[in-house]
Amino acid sequence: MLSTKPAPGEEAALSYRNLRAIIGYVGLTLPAVLLIAGAADGHLESSISAYYYTKVGNVFTGSLCVIGVFLVAYRLAQWAVDNIATTLAGICALGVAFFHCAPQNATPSQLGLADVHLTCAAALFILLGAISLFIFPQDVPAGQEWRSHCYRGLGALIWLSIILMPVLSALAGSFYDGNHVFFILETVCVLAFAVSFILKGHGQLANPAFAGVAAAPGLPLTRVPSSVTDITDITDVADTGQPTRP
């Protein structure tokens, strides 16, 4: 008879954690693929979004779709501020994917779509920065405070890059346009978000109880007793504050 239990890789907690890591890995590889493609063509685009009009346009769109869908899906079942922020970030990522930046000699309608694209991109980076700054540090386990510092540093880096984009464009327009500064700052944002999600997805691998918190997201990590040795114990801990098994 077929077992009715989920496959080992399909535990809710593991899937929840792995989705975060996958989001990060997709973000981490996107700038590298675009840079390699640009180097092969002998031309680097002015922004990540501009690669939509190159031969790797499908890579750009597909990566944004994967990130967007995963951001929407992996916390959709829980109604909380952090889940709302993640869902909105996913919607913005899909907006970046489907509303494209303006090409050369753009028509008025294309310029209008480009405004939507820029709005979605700005909102996406702001939300991702906020997630790293304020949400990820909230459930860092005791003894791993360095994670909080990493999340906040990465979130601050995202927000700093967002601020520098218009500031540098206004103060040093020719240098900004001639040295791909916008592309560099976009890449910094993407890499910072990616590292943050990878770090969050691979948090405290040695402790099975940590992985199980995803099954009970309302439970603070500080309440998970050291006696919890199995992911299935998390349900009992979430309800009573103590595991039913020693």
Q: Where are the alpha helices (DSSP H) in the chain?
A: 12-41, 57-73, 81-98, 108-130, 145-171, 173-178, 181-201, 208-212, 233-240
Whether 95 is covered by a domain: the verdict is yes
Residues 76 and 179 in one domain: yes
The reply to whether 73 and 59 lie within a common domain is yes
Residue 232's pLDDT is 36
pTM of the model as a whole = 0.78
In this structure, is residue 231 part of a structural domain? Answer: yes
Tell me the residue range of the domain where 227 lies.
Answer: 205-246
Q: Are residues 57 and 153 in the same domain?
A: yes
Cβ density class 154-192: b for 16+ within 10 Å, e for less: bbebbbebbebbeebeeeeeeebeeebbbbebbbbbbbb
Are the beta carbons of 117 and 99 closer than 8 angstroms? yes
What secondary structure letter does DSSP report for 73? H
Distance between CA atoms of 184 and 208, rounded to whole angstroms?
38
> What pLDDT, on the 0 to 100 scale, is given for residue 40?
86
pLDDT per position as a tens digit, 193-227: 999 999 998 864 444 554 444 444 444 544 444 44
93 and 123 part of one domain = yes
Counting as low any pLDDT under 50, the low residues of the chain are 4, 6, 9-10, 204-207, 210-219, 221-246
